[in-house]
């Protein structure tokens, strides 16, 4: 059966994630703007963009608490860049937090300003043991602390740039801005593990 992956449609790199996902067989997408849109998805991408703006829009559309509960109940989520900041329980350089579901502390804009954006390649064995993955960092955060339940997937210069805690996957970088499907494929493998009966039922009515 097709998997339906939601992309939070508040602000940021929404179309870019959609383009990547549509290249993966048996995958459909849905832009999530309301609580109802959350009902029949198998996973949700929180795109990069501006975490303060996305956080405010989640409040404005009364989506924050329901999304938080869904994630706590096991909805697979993939937070890229600003999406990583949205999921973090702690933000080192700011008091305001957002969904607070993942046991990580992040440093917002950890690499500096827009001018310090960069790209590189890195072998991330959990994703692919053989071929490095292209990584694009744009005003990126990085993770400074993780709880014991959090699996560190990648570090660059001793900074944690990708991690997973159960149904939650995060990256400091933007896999949707490359032509590489492997990070999204890995997220889909998590969605397969966590596919909820509720999502299957909602689809069949």
Q: What is the DSSP letter of 198?
A: H
Count CB-CB contacts under 10 A for residue 71.
22
CB-CB neighbours of 148 under 10 Å? 5
Q: How far apart are CA 164 and CA 153, in angstroms?
A: 7
Task: Find the part of the chain contacting ligand GLN (CB under 6 A) among 29-37, 81-89, 122-130, 189-197.
Answer: 81-89
Smallest distance, ligand GLN to C-beta of residue 97, A:
12
Question: Per-residue string for binding with ligand GLN, 152-191, x by CB under 6 A?
Answer: ----------------------------------------
Residue 44 near residue 18, CB atoms below 8 Å: no
Beta bridge partners of 104: 146
Q: Does 101 bind ligand GLN (CB under 6 A)?
A: no
184: annotated active-site residue? no
Q: Is 176 a catalytic residue?
A: yes
Q: Minimum CB separation from ligand GLN for residue 142, in Å?
A: 11
Does 51 bind ligand GLN (CB under 6 A)? Our answer is yes
- Residue 133: which of 119, 117, 143, 121 has the closest Cα? 121
80 strand-pairing partners = 171
**Does residue 21 bind ligand GLN (CB under 6 A)?**
no
DSSP state of 175: G
Q: Which one, 42 or 142, has the nearer CB to ligand GLN?
A: 142
Question: CB under 6 A: which stretch of 22-30, 42-50, 175-183, 197-205 binds ligand GLN?
Answer: 42-50
CB of 39 to ligand GLN, least distance (A): 27
- Decide if residue 92 touches ligand GLN (CB under 6 A): no
174 annotated active-site: yes
For residue 18, give the DSSP letter. H
Per CB under 6 A, the segment of 24-32, 43-51, 67-75, 142-150 that binds ligand GLN is 43-51
Torsion angle in degrees (nearest 10) through CA of 153, 69, 19, 51: -80
Task: Verify binding: residue 57, ligand GLN, rule CB under 6 A.
Answer: no
Closest C-alpha to 138, from 179, 77, 83: 83
CB atoms within 10 A of CB 90: 15
Interface residues toward ligand GLN, by CB under 6 A? 48-51, 81-82, 85, 108-109, 138-139
Instruction: Kindly list the catalytic residues.
Output: 81, 174, 176
């Amino acid at each position: 059966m097709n998997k339906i992956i939601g992309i939070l449609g508040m602000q940021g790199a929404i179309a870019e994630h959609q383009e990547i996902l549509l290249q993966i067989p048996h995958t459909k997408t849905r832009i999530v703007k309301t609580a109802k849109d959350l009902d029949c998805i198998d996973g949700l991408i929180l795109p990069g963009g501006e975490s303060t703006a996305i956080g405010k829009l989640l409040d404005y559309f009364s989506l924050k608490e329901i999304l938080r509960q869904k994630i706590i109940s096991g909805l697979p989520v993939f937070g890229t860049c600003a999406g990583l900041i949205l999921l973090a329980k702690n933000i080192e350089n700011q008091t305001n937090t957002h969904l607070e579901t993942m046991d990580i502390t992040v440093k917002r804009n950890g690499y500096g300003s827009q001018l310090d954006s960069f790209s590189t390649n890195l072998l991330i064995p959990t994703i692919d043991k053989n071929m490095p993955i292209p990584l694009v960092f744009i005003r990126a955060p990085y993770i400074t602390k993780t709880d014991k339940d959090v699996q560190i997937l990648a570090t660059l210069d001793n900074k944690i740039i990708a991690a997973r805690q159960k149904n939650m996957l995060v990256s400091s970088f933007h896999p949707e801005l490359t032509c590489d499907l492997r990070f999204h494929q890995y997220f889909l493998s998590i969605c397969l593990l966590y596919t909820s009966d509720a999502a299957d039922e909602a689809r069949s009515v």
